[in-house]
Structure 1
Amino acid sequence: MATQVDSGPVVRPRLVNPANFLFATRDTGYKTTGLAIAELIDNSLQAGARRVAVEVAATQSPGRQIEIMVVDDGEGMDAVTLAEALTFGGTSRFNDRTSLGRYGMGLPNGALSRSRRVEVYTWRPDVVDVLWSRLDIDELANAGDAALPPVEHIDRPAFVPDTDSGTVVRLTRCDRVEYKRSSALARRLGDDLGRIYRRFLANGVSLQVNGQLVVANDPLCLQPESKIIGGRQFGDDLLYEIPVGSTSGTISVTFSELPIDRWHGLSTEEKRTMGVTAGPPVSIVRAGREIDRGWFFMGGKRRENYDDWWRCEIRFDPVLDELFGITHAKQAISPRPELLEIISPDLETIARALNGRVRNRFMLVKAAEPLSAAERQAARAEASLPSLPRGRRPIPDELKDLVDGLSRHEAPYQIAAAELPTMGAYEVVVRGRQIIVLLNTKHPWYRDLYGPLAMSELGRDHDLARQVALTLLASARAEATLRRGAERGHAQRLRQVSADVLATFMNA
């Protein structure tokens, strides 16, 4: 028979030690202050704000600690909502899959990751005064209390704008920001927030940092209003419809190519400032807001230097959070194997194709160096040659796109290499007073003669490539002096027959 033992009073330990929890949660691990502040801006946008201002300033306190405020014109909060907003998990939208927030952790988590005290001021049209509350980790730790101070009604502070509704989140005693100078932190925030919220900025949201409008910063360089433009979309968007229970979510993927011809000659510092070199090529966007960037979904392809010159944006609906491995901090993904199986094969194939295109483009860029030298040398001699006949000469339809893509300048000659839609070794076009020679990279003449000379590491080979280019320019100029259409037609046919024979000789 079992003996009953008196175990004494029942011990019911607290689920959370308030002080330890608050200090531990500061180490959530936001990668940057920009990502922490983004949590506060997410709340503003969910509250319907169309104008959000971030203020960064150094206080007069010892050490001149940084203070950060996020001010919006959203719908504001009542007392109950404000009290919930400062608690962990306190939200009426818990597990919401329709917008930016989901867990109700963003405000306290993001704020305390960078500061020791956060104050919230909020107002609505139906309330005369301003509601105020705070979360101060030192205050709570000293009191040994798990309860927040009550919400108070206060007169409108001077830093609260005179709008019908809105909210101010104020971070003081910021002891975990990356920069000691407020101006440096403000510049970094402007760059980060312009990238994170580029799609919201394109849709009319106004975002400022220290009074300066934040400009959209599209890493694909496709958005017309982006700080840097010039990218070109590669192919059509890829769309994946993923079933999730009784519903489904969409993944959209866009690739772009950066303009190698225009940017390859920039300095290393300029490329770094523009985000070309060493920048993460893949951007992950959830509900219109960037949450991560890096090297994702590329299968077995290793990253190379050539991969600096293309970009990929992957957008997904919040209903797919579990597949992407989203945490409450919304700053990183950890894709599940089943998601990798769905999209990685396609993305790896495209990445390899883009890598090859970049490699070929750089080869053409290198091959263009002797062409540029030939252009300059021919231009110096132009004044001693007979003038070209005037008159408009139509550009063949199949060459118009290539010609339109060339930069316009006043030099008398321009030579470019490309895969031509013709079988000729080269084509001659007259645009105004300029003679354009298009070399066909598909022809054996380029493949076996000019290309190897131009891409050689030997200076004498480059000189030979320049002399070959001058020979073509002379032939092209002679053709451009023909006045009659019939004469030009004969010259074009002779050039085509000669190219066919040359290809036969070189392939024999």
Structure 2
Amino acid sequence: MRFGLIVPEAFVRGIRDLGYRSNGDAISELIDNAVQAYADRVDVLFGFEGGTSLKKPAQLAVVDNGHGMEPDMIRMAVMWGGTHRENDRGGLGRYGYGLPCASVSLGRRFTVYSAVEGGRLFAVTVDLDRLASGDYTDPTGEIVVPVAEPATLPPFVADAIAAAYPAGWRSGTVILIEKLDRLEWTTAQGLRENLCRQFGVTYHKLRGDAAIYVDGQFVEPIDPLFLTPGFRFFDLDADRAVPLDPIRLEARNPEDRTYMGAVTLRYAWLPPSFGSVDKARDAVGVNANDRFAVMKDYHGLIFSRNGRLIDVQTRTPWTSFINNDRYIKVEVEFSATLDEAFGVTTSKQQVTVSPFAWDLLLQAGLPKAIEQLRMKVKEAKLERRARALSPSPGERRLSERAMSAPTGLASGQGQLDLRPPRYRTVLEHVPDEPFFKVDRSGDLRTLRLNTAHRFFSDIYDAPAATPELRAALEVMLFAFGDAVLCDEPRSAHGTEGGLAPWSQRLNQALEMLAAHLLSGEEEDVGAGAWDNAR
């Protein structure tokens, strides 16, 4: 019996089942290798050979024009841990696991083709089915990687290279993945669109290093904070992301204060209509625009390593991101020299932030910045809600009409007041002030509702509140204001004397409100222009 460190067949099966979060994360490993090989163009190609329906690829290839590999290096590249960049902190790769792990996570067979400038094309193929049947096992029982042999590219790859490089493809590498059994998307269109969006975000800071194409479509860079002019979705419509000042800090060893690496924090908050088509409504269902998918997928703390996005996390030691926090954006970019502090995994798709790194972010003011961003979004939502609750130009609120009608109250001379005062409601945001005020200017009474007070969000504009309930609350507060502002002499009975006219005024105003509701039964008073945000 052999007691090697691993059982090869079980190891490969386990690597497949470890998996990546998505097809895009797996392919990103191959793009990383291309960028690190100094490629300035990377193509992700779909192959449909063998009579396969054009709806779903049968083959997938990643092509670059980097420096290429010699035959022995190709052989090493298909090995787990086979790299000349072991523990390299200057680029995107580090461990040498990316190429084989990513390839087998998509299909059961992969081939690495490569050529250096002026050299021939060689290739090595790894087929998991052949591995399981013992085809790669030598007489001593060792599983041996096949020798690199001269090769010819598949026609769909050769055609794509000829079109992309009319002057000739001088060097580079092709990773061909076949026996695809783990594609998430059932159509080439769905796969192309989602890969373009994911790669656009993942590599948006590296756009100057390499142009990326998916099935012939150029991948436009997408800043997940939507702050970069010229990038995709920045100017989708008139809404713009609002930045806070970025912060750059240095990480130093707490024992000897030696420099460990740099961290940059970027912040932005998004207007509440940022993800909507119809700006008066929330980004729900068909009303979500193309930005919303990015907002949803990159929801939380965004972590980037050497300019390449690797993870998004919704939990911190101080707070957790909820759905409403899609409208705040925070990016933590760190250098690869801080990999241990941020717990970067082998596949570069996850971080496990250490207490040291969390403390570094705390000292940089990250918790306060998150709360500031939340407050900005809350204020913007309240402002939008106030606009939605306001009547259209030329219209009056139901409560204003009810209060302005003749009341039949006796004046000081015992006669009816035939010229009732005018009423209006104003929504304003004044933190730490009372939930309402009523003031008077001539014959105009103004009810000022404070949107910063919980009365507004929990009662007046609660989820169960209807336009009728809001009108009734306005009438009640108007009546109270009338009692307080009344010029008539107060009764000698103190508080009761002040409450009596308010109670009477409220009763009569509610009667008028009921009369207005009865006369308007044929129209939908609950769906007025001031309630569009529901």
TM-score of the superposition, structure 2-length normalised?
0.67
**Separation in structure 2 between the aligned mates of residue 113 and residue 21 of structure 1, nearest angstrom:** 13
2:226 to 221, 224, 231: 221
- 2:449 aligned residue: 451
Which structure 1 segments of 5+ residues have no match?
1-10, 379-415, 418-438, 466-508
Larger radius of gyration: 2
The change in CA–CA distance for 1:62 and 1:343 in structure 2 (over 3 A counts) is same
- 1:331 aligned residue: 349
2:179 to 165, 173, 176: 173
The change in CA–CA distance for 1:13 and 1:369 in structure 2 (over 3 A counts) is closer
1:116 to 108, 112, 129: 108
Residue correspondences, number: 396
**Separation in structure 2 between the aligned mates of residue 111 and residue 301 of structure 1, nearest angstrom:** 37
List aligned pairs for 1:268-287, cutoff 5 A. 268-269=284-285, 270-271=287-288, 273=290, 274-275=292-293, 276-277=295-296, 279-287=298-306
- 1:55 aligned residue: 45
List aligned pairs for 1:265-414, cutoff 5 A. 265-269=281-285, 270-271=287-288, 273=290, 274-275=292-293, 276-277=295-296, 279-296=298-315, 298-344=316-362, 346-371=365-390, 373-375=391-393
The change in CA–CA distance for 1:353 and 1:299 in structure 2 (over 3 A counts) is farther
The change in CA–CA distance for 1:62 and 1:306 in structure 2 (over 3 A counts) is closer
- Opposite residue 197 of structure 2, the aligned amino acid is D
**Separation in structure 2 between the aligned mates of residue 66 and residue 225 of structure 1, nearest angstrom:** 35
**Separation in structure 2 between the aligned mates of residue 35 and residue 376 of structure 1, nearest angstrom:** 55
The alignment status of 1:43 with 2:33, answered yes or no, reads yes
List aligned pairs for 1:62-101, cutoff 5 A. 66-101=58-93
- 1:241 aligned residue: 251
The change in CA–CA distance for 1:33 and 1:443 in structure 2 (over 3 A counts) is closer
**Given that residues 190 and 214 in structure 1 are in contact (C-alpha distance below 8 angstroms), is that contact kept between their aligned partners in structure 2?**
yes
- Greater shift in the superposed pair: 183-192 or 88-97: 183-192
- 2:130 aligned residue: 139
**Separation in structure 2 between the aligned mates of residue 198 and residue 20 of structure 1, nearest angstrom:** 37
- Opposite residue 191 of structure 1, the aligned amino acid is R
The change in CA–CA distance for 1:247 and 1:89 in structure 2 (over 3 A counts) is farther
Aligned-pair CA distance for 1:105: 0.6
**Given that residues 65 and 173 in structure 1 are in contact (C-alpha distance below 8 angstroms), is that contact kept between their aligned partners in structure 2?**
no
Aligned-pair CA distance for 1:237: 2.3
**Separation in structure 2 between the aligned mates of residue 170 and residue 156 of structure 1, nearest angstrom:** 9
SS in 2 for 1:119: strand
RMSD (CA atoms):
3.2
The change in CA–CA distance for 1:91 and 1:289 in structure 2 (over 3 A counts) is same
**Separation in structure 2 between the aligned mates of residue 144 and residue 40 of structure 1, nearest angstrom:** 24
Aligned-pair CA distance for 1:154: 2.8
Aligned-pair CA distance for 1:284: 0.8
Aligned-pair CA distance for 1:259: 2.1
**Given that residues 299 and 325 in structure 2 are in contact (C-alpha distance below 8 angstroms), is that contact kept between their aligned partners in structure 1?**
no
The change in CA–CA distance for 1:190 and 1:376 in structure 2 (over 3 A counts) is farther
The alignment status of 1:258 with 2:256, answered yes or no, reads no
SS in 2 for 1:171: strand
TM-score of the superposition, structure 1-length normalised?
0.70
- 1:399 aligned residue: none
**Given that residues 246 and 264 in structure 2 are in contact (C-alpha distance below 8 angstroms), is that contact kept between their aligned partners in structure 1?**
no
- Opposite residue 233 of structure 2, the aligned amino acid is I
- Which whole-Å deviations, capped at 9, do the CAs of 1:433-461 have from their partners, x for residues lacking one? xxxxxx88589799633334987346365
SS in 1 for 2:448: helix
**Given that residues 26 and 113 in structure 1 are in contact (C-alpha distance below 8 angstroms), is that contact kept between their aligned partners in structure 2?**
yes
- Opposite residue 211 of structure 1, the aligned amino acid is G
- Which whole-Å deviations, capped at 9, do the CAs of 1:282-311 have from their partners, x for residues lacking one? 211011111111214x32323334312110
**Given that residues 273 and 282 in structure 2 are in contact (C-alpha distance below 8 angstroms), is that contact kept between their aligned partners in structure 1?**
no
- Opposite residue 234 of structure 1, the aligned amino acid is L
**Given that residues 18 and 144 in structure 1 are in contact (C-alpha distance below 8 angstroms), is that contact kept between their aligned partners in structure 2?**
no
**Separation in structure 1 between the aligned mates of residue 353 and residue 283 of structure 2, nearest angstrom:** 36
- Opposite residue 92 of structure 1, the aligned amino acid is H
The alignment status of 1:154 with 2:170, answered yes or no, reads no
SS in 2 for 1:256: strand
**Separation in structure 1 between the aligned mates of residue 348 and residue 432 of structure 2, nearest angstrom:** 52
SS in 1 for 2:86: coil
The alignment status of 1:198 with 2:208, answered yes or no, reads no
Aligned-pair CA distance for 1:71: 0.9
Aligned-pair CA distance for 1:60: 3.3
Aligned-pair CA distance for 1:120: 1.2
**Given that residues 243 and 249 in structure 1 are in contact (C-alpha distance below 8 angstroms), is that contact kept between their aligned partners in structure 2?**
no
**Given that residues 36 and 110 in structure 1 are in contact (C-alpha distance below 8 angstroms), is that contact kept between their aligned partners in structure 2?**
yes
**Given that residues 80 and 100 in structure 2 are in contact (C-alpha distance below 8 angstroms), is that contact kept between their aligned partners in structure 1?**
yes
**Separation in structure 1 between the aligned mates of residue 136 and residue 38 of structure 2, nearest angstrom:** 37
Quick one: percent identity of the two aligned structures?
26
